[in-house]
Amino acid sequence: MKEKNCNETFDRLPRRRKDVLELFLQGKTDAEIEKLLYITQATVRKHIGNICSDFGLSEEFSYDRSSKRPALMALFAKYKPELMQGNSAVTADSTVSSSSVDWGEAPEVEEFYDRTEELATLKQWLLEKQCRLVVVWGMAGIGKTALAVMLADEIQSQFDCFIWRSLQYAPALPDLLADIIQFLSPTPNLELPDSVSDRTSKLMGLLQNHRCLIVLDNVETVLPEGHRDDGEYGDFLRRVGRERHRSCVLLNSREKPGAVTLVERETRRVKSLQLEGLKEAAREIFREEGLTDEADWNELINHYRGNPHILRLVAWHVKELCGGRVSKFLDLGTTLLNDELTTLLSQQFDRLSPLEKQIVAVLMQTNGAVSLERVRDRIQPPSSSELMQALTVLKDRSLVEQVPTGDDVQFSLPPLIRRFASQHCPLTE
């Protein structure tokens, strides 16, 4: 774009867009702009996307999906450097930092409540402790993706580069490595080594030279069943966790990868966080949906263990079936299990071992909690340690809960799992 066009476009920008642009050029992060202009970070991102289109950057760089932000900075460094005062990324000769950002398939998060503690912990791990590998793991719908979006929004500006990739369609590792390498060192016709280990080495080199934040969402799709060995991704994750570099790979997964469990014991720079349901903040979801009978909300929230995705579905049903009255919905005495939840839970059940499925079947047959001895008598596992291991897997996947009963350890199924198991889990294998 020529200087004259740039000036004209700048003068014609709508006021809000101009406000966002000026703060962006001063080097403010999305989080800072959010606070200064009282808009969400998603809106900040939308404004910046629009501004890039206004200045013709979207067409100019339409061949790649990477961020146009560095190009926007560069444009103003050239024609309007006076707007960039206070921007520490701009050096004396007005060249712009090499920061690049690629949000990939990350979703917009519109409503987000609480998670203050989790955000503080993750920020400490990523920024202060400079962890190399961090996994956030927990049940589907518990809020892993939303949490990572909020976290990355806040901290990505503290990294040289940021990339988000979803592994939802289980990409082969060499393809994923090629994608990330290409992003970090954008060279036309980049020659990549063929072998996975050489490709990984190439990426490790880049992670040493730049401080990058890489978010990999939906990692469970690339973990093989049986949860012992993580295959080729396991090798990759072990290297990211063990080798020396300045970057951080943040994983979201329904299951904790075995590689993380292993390396976590060896170094403080690998960490894992199990994400649990929302507590008090879950009420905001019901409030937002306009439900009534506030006194009964906690019962319904607890019934679904604070899972925000399920609570949104439930809220929708309460509105449709009971005019928004939670007490009326509770009176129905039903546990919501629609097609979507059935599919989600089936995916989880399909990954269980025969022994794990057997335990669920035994727990389903009893209404209350069941002691460890009773479970053992009923299924006669190959050994006690195998039984304990199977129960740990089930607890980790939020399929079985441990109930505190004095000195004894008892186990039971959460209501949703009980409902699912009664319909889909055969009593004997």
Ligand X SMILES: Nc1ncnc2c1ncn2[C@@H]1O[C@H](COP(=O)(O)OP(=O)(O)O)[C@@H](O)[C@H]1O
Question: Is residue 162 close enough to count as binding ligand X by CB under 6 A?
Answer: no
- Both tokens of 352, joined, read 């269980």
Rg (CA), the chain: 25
- Beta carbon of residue 108, minimum distance to Mg ion (angstroms, whole number): 13
User: Which are the contacts of 401, defined by CB distance < 8 A and separation ≥ 6?
Assistant: 395, 411, 412, 413, 414
- Out of Mg ion, ligand X, none, what residue 236 binds, judged by CB under 5 to 8 A for its kind, is none
Q: Closest distance between ligand X and the C-beta of residue 289, in Å?
A: 11
Query: In sequence order, which residues have a C-beta less than 8 Å from that of residue 125 and are 6 or more positions away?
Result: 131, 134, 271
Find the part of the chain contacting ligand X (CB under 6 A) among 81-89, 95-103, 113-121, 324-332: 113-121
Residue nearest to ligand X (CB): 143
Site for ligand X in 325-344 (CB under 6 A): none
C-beta of 218: minimal distance to Mg ion in Å?
6
Contact of 165 with 104, CB cutoff 8 Å: yes
Q: How far apart are CA 95 and CA 81, in angstroms?
A: 10
Smallest distance from ligand X to CB 44, Å: 18
What residues line the site for Mg ion (CB under 5 A)?
145
Closest separation between CB of residue 217 and Mg ion, Å? 6
Q: Which does 112 bind (CB under 5 to 8 A by kind): ligand X, Mg ion, none?
A: ligand X
Q: How many residues bind ligand X (CB under 6 A)?
A: 18
User: With respect to ligand X, which residue has the nearer C-beta, 278 or 352?
Assistant: 278
- 145 near ligand X, judged by CB under 6 A: yes
The number of angstroms, rounded, from the C-alpha of 17 to the middle of its chain's C-alpha atoms is: 29
113 lies in the site for ligand X, by CB under 6 A: yes
Q: Which residue in 57, 84, 131, 146 binds ligand X (CB under 6 A)?
A: 146
* Binding track, positions 244-283, relative to ligand X; x by CB under 6 A: ----------------------------------x-----
| Window contacting ligand X (CB under 6 A); options: 142-150, 168-176, 221-229, 263-271 | 142-150
> Binding string to ligand X for residues 294 to 323, with x set by CB under 6 A, is what?
--------------xx--x-----------
Judged by beta carbon, residue 145 or residue 247, the one nearer ligand X is 145
What DSSP letter does each residue of 229-291 carry, written as one string? --HHHHHHHHHHHHS--S-EEEEEESS--HHHHHHHTT-TTEEEEE----STTHHHHHHHTT-
Among 23, 37, 42, 109, the residue binding ligand X under the rule CB under 6 A is 109
Closest to 402 (Cα-Cα) out of 393, 411, 389: 411
**Of 43 and 252, which CB lies nearer to Mg ion in the complex structure?**
252
Among 126, 140, 337, 399, binds ligand X (CB under 6 A): 140
According to the binding rule CB under 6 A, does residue 142 interact with ligand X?
yes
Alpha-carbon gap, residue 202 to 193, rounded angstroms: 8
Q: Given the complex with Mg ion, which of 24 and 112 has the nearer CB atom?
A: 112
**Assigned token pair, 139:** 């049940």
Which long-range contacts link 310-314 to residues 24+ away (Cβ below 8 Å)?
A: 310/141, 310/336, 310/341, 310/416, 311/278, 311/282, 311/285, 311/286, 312/285, 313/338, 313/340, 313/341
With b for 16 or more beta-carbon neighbours within 10 A and e for fewer, the 414-426 pattern comes to bbbbbbbbeeebe
Give which of ligand X, Mg ion, none residue 111 binds (C-beta under 5 to 8 Å, depending on kind). Answer: ligand X
Residue 142 interacts, among Mg ion, ligand X, none and using kind-specific CB cut-offs from 5 to 8 Å, with ligand X
Does position 165 bind ligand X by CB under 6 A?
no
309 binds, among ligand X, Mg ion, none (CB under 5 to 8 A by kind): ligand X
Q: Check if the beta carbon of residue 296 is closer than 8 Å to that of residue 327.
A: yes
Structure tokens at 333: 């005495």
Instruction: Name the DSSP letter for residue 110.
Output: -
Alpha-carbon distance of 76 to 51, in angstroms, equals 12
Q: For residue 138, which of 355, 310, 307 has the smallest C-alpha distance?
A: 307
Task: Say whether residue 144 binds ligand X (CB under 6 A).
Answer: yes
Task: Name the binder of 215 from ligand X, Mg ion, none, CB < 5-8 A by kind.
Answer: none
User: Is the separation of the CB atoms in 215 and 148 below 8 Å?
Assistant: yes
> What is the contact surface with ligand X in residues (CB under 6 A)?
109, 111-115, 140-146, 278, 285, 308-309, 312
